[in-house]
Amino acid sequence: MKTAFVRQQDKAKWYIVDAKDKILGRLATRIATMLKGKHKPTYTPFMDSGDFVVVVNAEKIAVTGKKLTDKIYYHHTMYPEGLRTEAMGKRLARKPEDVIHHAVWGMLPKGSLGRDMIKKLKVYTGENHPHQAQRPEKLAI
């Protein structure tokens, strides 16, 4: 018996997610599943068969516990003593799109496949987004 592989024929669908009062980790796992394509019966691990996801209201995301003060994001400038740290609360106030993007990126495969998948994630603050022409479907989380 041969294994049947599905070709990349179907067009990717667009989904919109309202992040208002959603828990960050639960939202990120659902988004990562949609980006990978694991919700489709034609899922193939080595192919990018996922859909586009548009996230709005990124600044209104909810986190549990003391993550706003205790969770630290690290970045190194590649210069001596160049380690930069930022608490989640400050990052959420300064650039809320990065918090969701960082959480989803950690759940995707590493390498060229994951880099292609993360390009299909669009995160915006507020209700407005420039993807009305794609007619995204509302995704309940």
Residue of 25 and 3 predicted with greater confidence: 25
Find the angle CA(77)-CA(79)-CA(81) to the nearest 5 degrees.
95
- pLDDT at residue 43 is higher than 90: no
For the cut 70, the answer to whether the pLDDT of residue 93 exceeds it is yes
Residue 44 located in a structural domain: yes
Q: Residue 112 is encoded by which pair of tokens?
A: 């060229």
Position 116 in a domain: yes
Confidence of residue 141 (pLDDT cuts 50, 70, 90): confident
- Residue 125 forms part of a structural domain: yes
Our count of domains for the chain comes to 1
8 Å CB contact between 55 and 118 = no
Distance CA 126, CA 111 (A): 31
Question: What range defines the domain where residue 29 resides?
Answer: 14-62+97-138
Mean pLDDT, range 52-71, rounded to an integer: 97
**In the predicted structure, residue 66 carries a pLDDT above the cut 90:** yes
The arithmetic mean of pLDDT across residues 121-138, rounded, is 96
CATH number for 25 = 3.90.1180.10
pLDDT at site 9: 61
Crossing angle of helices 96-105 and 24-36, rounded to 10°: 60
User: Is residue 79 in some structural domain?
Assistant: no
